[in-house]
Chain A
Amino acid sequence: MSDRVAFRVEGLTKTYTSGAIAVQALRGIDLALYEGELVVLLGPSGSGKSTLLNILGALDIPSTGRIFFREHELTGMSDAALTAFRREHVGFVFQFYNLVPSLTARENVALVTEISKRPMRPEEALERVGLGHRLTHFPAELSGGEQQRVAIARAIAKRPEVLLCDEPTGALDSATGVTVLEALYEANRDLGTITALITHNAAIRRIAHRTIRLADGRVASIEANAERMEPAGIEW
Chain B
Amino acid sequence: MRALDLKLMRDLRRLWAQCLAIALVLGCGVMVLVLATGTERSLRLTRDAYYDRGHFAQIFAAATRVPKQLLPEIARIPGVAQVEARVSMNVVVDLPGMVEPAQARLLSLPASGLPVLNRPTVRLGRLPDPGRVDEVALSENFAEANGLAPGASFAAILNGQRRTLRVVGLVLSPEFVYLIGPGALMPDDRHYGVIWMNEEPAAAAAGLSGAFNDLSLRLTRGASEAAVIAAVDRVLAPYGGTGAHGREHQVSDTFLRGELGQLGAMALILPPIFLIVSAFLVNMVLSRLILLERPVIGLLKAMGFTGREIAVHYLKLSIGIGVGGVLLGWVAGGWLGARMTQLYTEFYRFPYLIYAPGTASFAISAVMGLGAVALGAVRAVNASARLRPAVAMQPPAPPLYRLGRIDAAAVRMGLRQTTMMILRSITRWPGRAAVTVLGVSAAISVLVACFFTFDSIAAVIDEAFTRTNRQQVTLHLAQSVPATVTEAAAHLPGVTRVEGAFGMPVRLTRGWRSALTQVEARSDGDTLVRVLDGNGRVVAMPPAGLVLPETLAAKLGVAPGDVVTLSLLAPPRDTVDIAVSRVLPQSLGETAYIAAPALFALMRVAPQVNRLNLLVDTDRLPALYAAVKTAPAVDGVLLWTGIRAQFDATIRENLIRTVMIYAVLGVLITVGVIYNAARIQLSERSYELASLRVLGFTRAEVGYVLVGELMLLTFLAIPPGLLGGYGFSALISAGFSTDLIRIPLVISRQTYVVAALIAVVSALGAALVVRRRLDRIDLATALKQRD
Contact = CB atoms under 8 A, between A and B. Distances in A.
* A and B interact physically: yes
A79 to B, nearest CB: 7
A102 B293 CA distance: 12
B780 to A, nearest CB: 16
B6 interface: yes
A86 interface: yes
B3 A54 contact: no
Contact of B3 (A88, A92, A96, A108): A108
A114 B299 CA distance: 15
B303 A112 contact: yes
A59 B2 contact: no
A232 interface: no
A103 B304 contact: no
A19 B305 CA distance: 30
A100 B389 contact: no
Interface stretch (B7-15, B172-180, B351-359, B728-736): B7-15
Contacts of A92: 299, 302-303
B491 interface: no
Interface string B285-303: 0000000000110111111
Contacts of A86: 301-304
Contact of A115 (B14, B305, B400): B305
Contacts of B306: 80, 83, 87
Interface in B295-329: 295-296, 298-307, 309
Interface in B38-95: none
Contacts of B7: 100, 102-103, 107, 111
A83 B306 CA distance: 6
Nearest to A164: B302
B145 interface: no
Interface string A73-99: 000000110011111101010101010
B389 to A, nearest CB: 4
Contacts of B11: 102
A153 to B, nearest CB: 13
B608 to A, nearest CB: 86
B303 A59 contact: no
Contacts of A84: 304
Contacts of B6: 102-103, 107
A57 interface: yes
B390 interface: yes
A154 B302 CA distance: 12
A13 to B, nearest CB: 16
Contacts of B307: 79, 83
Contacts of A80: 306
A30 interface: no
Given A19-B400, A60-B388, A102-B11, A111 B304 contact: no
Interface string B254-293: 0000000000000000000000000000000000000000
Contact of B393 (A18, A19, A94, A111): A94
Given A59-B302, A86-B304, A103 B295 contact: no
A90 B303 CA distance: 8
Interface string A43-71: 00000000000100101110000000000
A110 interface: yes
Interface residues of A, number: 31
Given A54-B390, A60-B390, A110 B3 contact: yes
A122 B517 CA distance: 84
Contacts of B296: 98, 100
Given A19-B400, A83-B307, A59 B3 contact: no
Nearest to A154: B303
B389 A60 contact: yes
Contacts of A90: 302, 304
B777 interface: no
Given A86-B303, A100-B296, A111 B3 contact: yes
B4 interface: yes
A30 to B, nearest CB: 21
Interface string B1-45: 011101100110010000000000000000000000000000000
B400 A100 contact: no
Contacts of B305: 83, 87, 115
B237 to A, nearest CB: 83
A115 B10 CA distance: 20
Nearest to A108: B3
Nearest to B388: A60
A87 B389 contact: no
Nearest to B7: A102
Given A100-B296, A102-B14, A83 B304 contact: yes
Nearest to B296: A100
Nearest to B9: A102
Contacts of A112: 303-304
B4 A59 contact: no
B3 A98 contact: no
B343 interface: no
Contacts of A60: 388-391
A115 B388 contact: no
A229 B255 CA distance: 94
A198 to B, nearest CB: 14
Contact of B10 (A83, A85, A88, A102): A102
25 contacts: A19-B400, A54-B390, A59-B301, A59-B389, A59-B393, A61-B388, A79-B307, A80-B306, A83-B301, A86-B304, A87-B303, A87-B305, A87-B306, A90-B304, A94-B393, A96-B787, A102-B6, A102-B10, A102-B14, A103-B6, A110-B2, A111-B3, A111-B7, A115-B304, A154-B303
The 3 A-B pairs with the shortest beta carbon distances in the complex, nearest first, are A87-B304, A60-B390, A102-B10
